[in-house]
Amino acid sequence: MSERVIPLVDQRMAPLAVPRPARAAAHATPAPGLLHDTLGRPLRDLRISVTDRCNFRCTYCMPKEVFDKDYPYLRHGDLLRFEEIARLAGVFVAQGVRKIRLTGGEPLLRKDIELLVGQLAALRTPEGEPLDLTLTTNGSLLGRKAAALRAAGLQRVTVSLDGLDDAVFRRMNDVDFPVADVLRGIDAAREAGLGPVKVNMVVKRGTNEHEILPMARHFKGSDIVLRFIEYMDVGATNRWRMDEVLPSAEVMQMIHREMPLVPLEPAAPGETAERWAYADGSGEVGFISSVTQAFCRDCNRARLSTEGQLYLCLFASRGYDLRELVRGGASDADIAAALAAIWQGRDDRYSELRASLPPDAGNDRGRRVEMSYIGG
């Protein structure tokens, strides 16, 4: 029998050194909302991963041959506690973040996740406004959690769903989970007021492209926004190949031929999805084209991992260890000063440069952080 090779993933790589400005006084904290990176991109969106575990084994994210029963997940003590997450989130909000998305792994696997939602929902911007607080889920636990999440202050959910055909869906999640249960979770989210619900479909050529039109037909005429995502080269375990990418332009034309579409303006600066509406007014679809039409120049997102490492790009190799600051006695002003130094030095634009880079350029011999570790 051949030896199985498990690639090392990036949570076990040494973090980057966190900038250590002279101990900050309150008056030295950067002015709220004024952080920009080297390309002039503001810090507005924070993705927070709350667990590195998932109950699905989607081949493009957590393939079963790598993430098996012997996989060394993070220890509970390594995870940021809810109070630590809320504290860091408050520092980010003071420096310009206006949207927080909870991710995973599968975030609904984190015990008492509603408590964290409540703590984050209580945060306010310097102007006194509430945040845009959302969560991305595979939908498997959404039916039983939706009402409690809404009561805790969650505003919206995004559900990952890669096909309506039950056999295709079971094959893609690779744990034999039925699509009907995810659809029930979506209905529960709508009933709870977690809307507009968005549904994300990762399209992988040769696997589920025949599900594009059935998905469009199913959600057309509803208040659910269906978004198609190009299969991305995230991490080191999904064996990504360019010939498995179905460009969004082709997906859009496929839908347009049957259900005519008209373009819409972006809902917010830095939005990842190109928005289109059905010409008859019966709904909206979106296309996220990070492979064929990179949107790096407008990217205003930072990502906080389950164990408190700050990543500046979905395709990064290493993060900055903010947990060490939190647990090492740093003040909020110290953390804000470090955050400012990190963001103001940011120059990441991997997707924009992908075609011109050698295969291993800038990512520690091709090793990038796994999507299951910092979320999508």
Mean residue pLDDT across the chain = 87
Beta bridge partners of 156: 134
Residue 375 and residue 11 in contact, taking contact as beta carbons nearer than 8 Å = no
Predicted local confidence at residue 268, as pLDDT = 77
Residues 6+ positions from 356 with CB-CB distance below 8 Å:
none
Q: What are phi and psi of 303, to 5 degrees?
A: -130, 130
Predicted local confidence at residue 2, as pLDDT = 39
Amino acid at 85: I
Report the SS3 class of residue 287: strand
pTM: 0.88
Assess whether pLDDT exceeds 60 at residue 45.
yes
Report the SS3 class of residue 106: coil
Distance of alpha carbon 249 from alpha carbon 68, whole angstroms: 36
Range of lowest pLDDT (208-222, 333-347, 352-366): 352-366
> What pLDDT, in 10s, does the model give residues 86-136?
999 999 999 999 999 999 999 999 999 999 999 999 999 999 999 999 999
> Residue 261: which H helix or E strand, with range?
strand 261-263
**Which residue is listed with tokens 């003040």?**
331
Range of lowest pLDDT (51-55, 138-142, 277-281, 350-354): 350-354
- What's the start-to-end Cα distance of the chain, in Å? 35
Strands of 106-209, DSSP E: 132-137, 156-160, 198-203
Predicted local confidence at residue 350, as pLDDT = 73
> What pLDDT, in 10s, does the model give residues 239-250?
667 888 899 999
Residue 264 and residue 279 in contact, taking contact as beta carbons nearer than 8 Å = no
Distance of CA 214 to the CA centre of its chain: 25
Q: What are phi and psi of 169, to 5 degrees?
A: -65, -45
Count CA atoms closer than 13 A to 31's CA, side-chain side. Answer: 2
Q: Where are the domains of the chain?
A: 10-18+37-374
Please give the CATH topology (third level) of the domain spanning 10-18+37-374: TIM Barrel (3.20.20)
Distance of alpha carbon 342 from alpha carbon 258, whole angstroms: 47
